[in-house]
Amino acid sequence: MVEGWARDGLTEAQIAKNIGITPQTLCEWKRRFPSFASAIKRGNAPVDIQVENALLKRALGYECEEITEEIEETPTGKQDENGKPIMRRKKHIKKYRKVIPPDTAAMIFWLKNRKPLQWRDRPEAPVSTEALEKLDAVLASIKGVV
């Protein structure tokens, strides 16, 4: 059941509620019972893949077919028993290709998570090994003095 709930997209808090336990107990069960943790992971995997694919599709943009229905009413030239004109109804189905442009926010999210070293907001400054070596020398000399 737990695997199915995870596959349906329930959060761990919702799964815990369904079981009748606290989220903390759920975490404890996952730690103590590897098969329980595996069931949740197996359930999450297909949904995670679907979301990843949807995010990538949105980041790159795509084309889709959109269908609309329109009802056209034209008078028949006749009237009903109340004197209202009788209308002829004709359904028109229109299909057209719709272009969904790439989404910048989805691109940023994708890149920051997939390539964090190149795309994070604040890249790490390179660590100066020279400064660390000098600090090690000072610390070593202090140890020798004590």
Query: What beta strand segments (E) does 24-133 contain?
Result: 62-79, 85-100
Task: Look at residue 6 and tell me if it is in a domain.
Answer: yes
Q: How far apart are CA 89 and CA 16, in angstroms?
A: 54
Whether 25 is in a domain gets the answer yes
Give SS3 for 16. Answer: helix
Predicted model pTM: 0.56
Which two three-digit tokens encode residue 100?
């969904």
Identify the residue with better confidence: 131 or 77. Answer: 77
Question: In this predicted model, what pLDDT tens digit does every residue of 82-132 receive, in sequence order?
Answer: 999 999 999 999 999 999 999 999 999 999 999 988 888 876 666 678 878
pLDDT at 146 over 60: no
Residue 52: inside a domain, yes or no? yes
Range of the domain at 117: 2-61+101-145
Q: How many domains does the chain have?
A: 1
User: Helix crossing, 23-32 with 12-19: angle to 10°?
Assistant: 90
Q: Is 48 within a domain?
A: yes
